[in-house]
Amino acid sequence: MINNIENFIVSEIRGRAGIITLNRPKNLNALHLPMIQQIYQTLVSWKNNPAVERVIFDSNSDKAFCAGGDVRAIYDAIKVQDYHLAFQFFYDEYQLNHLIFSFPKPIISLIDGIIMGGGAGLAMNGTYRVVTERTIFAMPETAIGFFPDVGAGYFLNRCPGKIGLYLALSGNKISAGDCLYSKLATHGVLKSRLDNLKDQLINDQSNLQDILKKHHVVLGQSDLASHQSAIDRYFSQPTIEKCVQALQTDVEEWPQKVLETLSKRSPTSLKVTFSYMQKMIEANFKQVMQQTLVLSQFFVKSYDFQEGVRAVLVDKDQQPKWQPDTLASINSKLVEQALHFSIRQKLPI
């Protein structure tokens, strides 16, 4: 049985599995509101369906699993003062993230190609995350004046050492080997074997973990592993300003590249993201998502989000003019305002 719902997703039940295929290839499967709602409705319909023993997320794009949320649509809405759409988008997306996290059946994401932002919200909150040698992961939100949302305060904080904080602040892209090292991925498989794995997940009567283990391969070296001690040293500081100062004292190539990257990010995003990640270390997933909704509404009404989307995705001049433009210009009151921003309603989770 196949459902092709307005072409945004293709859902079907085959063998033992419910399969959701992301189906916006021209947009690299970027999530917009109808797509989010359709995935949510499909999962709800399968929750108590005995024909579905497990759920598989995959993509029809040769380039991406999912390149993120369709923030351009949110930007366009904000430009005409339509804040209702901005709230509804994040409200529904975070409900979907929570449904995936709490789903009573295993969810396996087959991640080939780009996975960023909202795509990570689909995959990282599920049970198993299978990457290929072509996987590229990032949470690049600080580059557009936003913050790592979709449960990142939970799944990035479970990476070894301070890797999660480093990825949250820098937005740097990492490889499949890095994903496996940092526990963001649970298994690796060669692209050439991905269809075979999918077929076995659908039809094989074997134990699910045995199937995944049978196909698992290590996919290259991890750059994150080689820089683990440096990441822990620089990002164990008590404030983002101290992290920057620590990087400035090291003239080696890697810390200088990180420093250059951070200098291009929104100072407001860096400051708030640092506090958010620290605050969420001991939080459960529900608490992370409630805080995430609050921060999303702070940022969509901020200057930096609109300027960041303009510079990166609209005009594409890659020259955002942040306000304030330095970390030193941001006081603790702004961070507290962000973390306690007033919203119309909490998530019903």
Q: Which residues are catalytic?
A: 69, 118, 141, 149
Which of helix, strand or coil describes residue 50? Answer: coil
Q: Are strands 54-59 and 107-111 parallel, antiparallel or unpaired?
A: parallel
- C-alpha 279/C-alpha 84 separation (Å) is 28
Residue with tokens 């509804």: 88
- C-alpha 159/C-alpha 330 separation (Å) is 28
What does the buried/exposed string (b/e) look like for 236-273 if buried means 16 or more CB atoms within 10 Å of the residue's CB? ebeebeebbebbeeeeeeebeebbeebeebbbbbbbbb
- In contact, 250 and 231? CB cutoff 8 Å: no
- Please report, in angstroms and rounded to a whole number, the separation of the first and last CA atoms in the chain: 31
Beta-carbon neighbour count of residue 151 at 10 Å? 23
- Take residue 289 and report the two structure tokens written for it: 């998502």
Sign of the dihedral through C-alpha 96, 53, 66, 173: positive
How long a stretch of residues is the chain?
Answer: 349
- In contact, 135 and 83? CB cutoff 8 Å: no
Residue 107: what residue type?
I
- Take residue 200 and report the two structure tokens written for it: 């076995």
- C-alpha 42/C-alpha 39 separation (Å) is 5
User: In angstroms, what is the C-alpha Rg of the chain?
Assistant: 20
Of 39, 37, 34, give the one whose Cα is nearest residue 22: 39
DSSP state of 126: S
